[in-house]
Amino acid sequence: MAARDGDLEARLRRLEDVEEIQRLLLAYARCLDEGDYAGYSELFTEDGELNAQLGQAKGREAIRALLDRRLGDDDAPPRRKAFHLIGNPTIEVDGDRATSIVTWAYLTHDDAGYPMLLQFGHYRDQLTRDQGRWMFARRDISRDLGFSPLDLPTTDAR
């Protein structure tokens, strides 16, 4: 009976892990869209790695500094400039490690204020359970299609 209990506990744990990792994926998008780069950096392990189109960084401090430098805008009005839509999650859990592949879409608005799909790509993640909490040990971001606002010489409505 003890063995069956243990087996069931492990199966339930895996399902809980998948659910918790989905929360992490959404927390990432929320921090990014709200400009909470401190919160964003805390989703990574202490020595976590970010490889993105806006740059590369290793460690929470470096990740936060990178986002502040590339995305920070003290004069920005308190309204959203973009939504990251997170979809197609595929999550594989293996004990205290996991991998995930996720589609991201970057939705913003054109000059007239209408929604516009500007770019999308994929996240490829290595995740670690650190002190009971799932975090990104490494996140590689690819853009498959579209344009980054960072690439554009002007802010015309692309």
Instruction: Give the nearer residue to other proteins in terms of CB position, either 44 or 120.
Output: 120
87 lies in the binding site for other proteins (CB under 8 A) = yes
149 lies in the binding site for other proteins (CB under 8 A) = no
117 lies in the binding site for other proteins (CB under 8 A) = yes
CB 14 within 8 A of CB 33: no
Burial label for 12, CB within 10 Å (0-12, 13-18, 19+), is exposed
- What number of other Cβ atoms are within 10 A of residue 120's Cβ? 18
Instruction: Give the nearer residue to other proteins in terms of CB position, either 39 or 89.
Output: 89
Instruction: Give the C-alpha distances (Å, rounded to integers) separating 77 from 33, 34, 49, 73, 137.
Output: 13, 11, 30, 9, 32
105 lies in the binding site for other proteins (CB under 8 A) = yes
Instruction: Give the nearer residue to other proteins in terms of CB position, either 11 or 69.
Output: 11
d(CA 88, CA 75): 35
Show contacts with other proteins in window 12-31 (CB under 8 A).
12, 15, 18
Instruction: Give the nearer residue to other proteins in terms of CB position, either 21 or 57.
Output: 21
88 lies in the binding site for other proteins (CB under 8 A) = yes
